[in-house]
Amino acid sequence: MNANAFAFLQQAMTADGGWGYSLDQASSVEATAAVALAAQDDLADADLERSAVAWLRAAQHADGGWGMNKDDIESIWTTGWGVLALTSTGSAEDAVARGAVWLARMPALRVTDDELQEEFRRKLAVDPNLSGWPWLPDEASWIEPTALILLALAAAPVQGIAARSAEAARFIADRRCQGGGWNFGNPVMLGGNLPPRAHPTAWALLALNRVAPDLIRSEDLAALRTEAGRDGGSSALALALLALRTLGEDDPALASRLAGRQAAGGGWDGNPYHTALALLAGRGRLL
């Protein structure tokens, strides 16, 4: 399974040495970073990792951050992917340090107005004093970028982030859905409970496991299994398995469904990003 998947990734490499979300797309930071992580495997050709690292280094902005792709001049959430991937390869300390500093300084919107805070408590059932990381600078915090960046900063050697990371872990715990798991942001909308979703739940568990494992509840894992099974998409199944296996658990039914989605050509959905996630799920750890 893995050898085929790496062969697919080899073929899916774009002319500039990165990977996109499909075979006919330009390279993106998220897909290329995921490939860089997945390529740290004995079965993978060393060219995969080398190419991914070179592409990521070339795509890094002067301010230390990354955009969505090489044409994107704004540094955004994908910087978490850039730092995570380069940290894991251990070959770009300067790039990692600059990226980590950018992440540590990435501003998130804070609600300070008393009336608005009360409205947030009432309508969204969240503690508005807690903040994590946004998708784009100066926006509200969301589960996935918060978790991704927590993981990146936990792996990168950067100083002075303990307080923000601790608050971000509390932010994730505060946003837990009723019955466990996470939606993309708030757990409630105007009194209605939002359902947990596989992707943010998997990311939240990966991050909490790294920085605050005591905050994980068994119901979160149950929610992840249920939601990944209900979603059934390759990325949901792969991320769920990656999170479960990182936490020392497994789910043969989800694993079987993920394996069943692999195409004869070795890839998942013809998508290098999904394929890299499936490989990471098979390995059972992100780093």
Partner 1 sequence: MARLSRRAFLRIAVLAGLGVSVAALERVSRPVGLGNYLRWTTRGELERIAGRPAVIALGECPTYADDLAGRLASLWHQAEMPDVTGKRVLVKPNLIDVIEGYPTTTAPEVVGAVLDVLTGLGASEIVVGEGSGFRREAEPVVESCGLAAELARRHVSFVDLNYDDPRPVPVEDGWFRHATNIWLPRHVREADLVVSVPKLKVHHWAGVSLSLKNLFGILPGCRYGWPKNMLHVNGIAMSVLGLYRLAQPVVSVMDGVVGMEGDGPLFGTPVPHGLLAVSADPVAVDTLCARLMGFDPNKIQYLWLAAWAGVGQAKRLDVRGGDVARFSRTYQPPPS
Count of residues engaged in binding partner 1, rule: CB under 8 A: 43
| Strand runs labelled E in 163-259 | 188-189, 192-193
Rounded to a whole number of angstroms, the minimum distance from the CB of residue 99 to partner 1 is 18
Rounded to a whole number of angstroms, the minimum distance from the CB of residue 213 to partner 1 is 24
Judged by beta carbon, residue 68 or residue 212, the one nearer partner 1 is 68
Dmax (CA) of the chain: 57
Please pick, from the candidates 116, 136, 162, 253, the single residue that binds partner 1 as defined by CB under 8 A.
136
Beta-carbon contacts of residue 137 (< 8 Å; ≥ 6 apart): 75, 76, 106, 107
Please pick, from the candidates 5, 14, 28, 266, the single residue that binds partner 1 as defined by CB under 8 A.
28
Q: Does 131 bind partner 1 (CB under 8 A)?
A: no
Token pair recorded at residue 179: 């019955």
Please pick, from the candidates 46, 62, 190, 264, the single residue that binds partner 1 as defined by CB under 8 A.
190
Judged by beta carbon, residue 87 or residue 234, the one nearer partner 1 is 234
Rounded to a whole number of angstroms, the minimum distance from the CB of residue 106 to partner 1 is 13
Question: What mask of x and - would describe binding to partner 1 in positions 67 to 86, judged by CB under 8 A?
Answer: -x--xx---xx---------
Pick from 206, 214, 165: nearest CA to 182: 206
Please pick, from the candidates 4, 10, 16, 26, the single residue that binds partner 1 as defined by CB under 8 A.
26
Beta-carbon contacts of residue 241 (< 8 Å; ≥ 6 apart): 228, 250, 251, 254, 255, 258, 281, 284
| Strand runs labelled E in 112-236 | 188-189, 192-193
Q: Does 30 bind partner 1 (CB under 8 A)?
A: yes
Alpha carbons 143 and 134: distance in angstroms, whole number = 8
Please pick, from the candidates 235, 246, 262, 275, the single residue that binds partner 1 as defined by CB under 8 A.
235
Pick from 121, 106, 84, 109: nearest CA to 206: 84
Question: What mask of x and - would describe binding to partner 1 in positions 138 to 157, judged by CB under 8 A?
Answer: xxx-x-xx------------
Judged by beta carbon, residue 40 or residue 234, the one nearer partner 1 is 234
Q: Which residues pair with 214 in a beta bridge?
A: none
Alpha carbons 269 and 170: distance in angstroms, whole number = 35
Alpha carbons 141 and 41: distance in angstroms, whole number = 33
Residues between 215 and 234 that touch partner 1 (CB under 8 A): 230-234
Pick from 272, 284, 277: nearest CA to 32: 272
Judged by beta carbon, residue 45 or residue 63, the one nearer partner 1 is 63
- List interacting residues with partner 1 (CB under 8 A): 20-22, 24-26, 28, 30, 68, 71-72, 76-77, 109, 134-136, 138-140, 142, 144-145, 183-185, 189-192, 194-195, 197-199, 230-236, 269
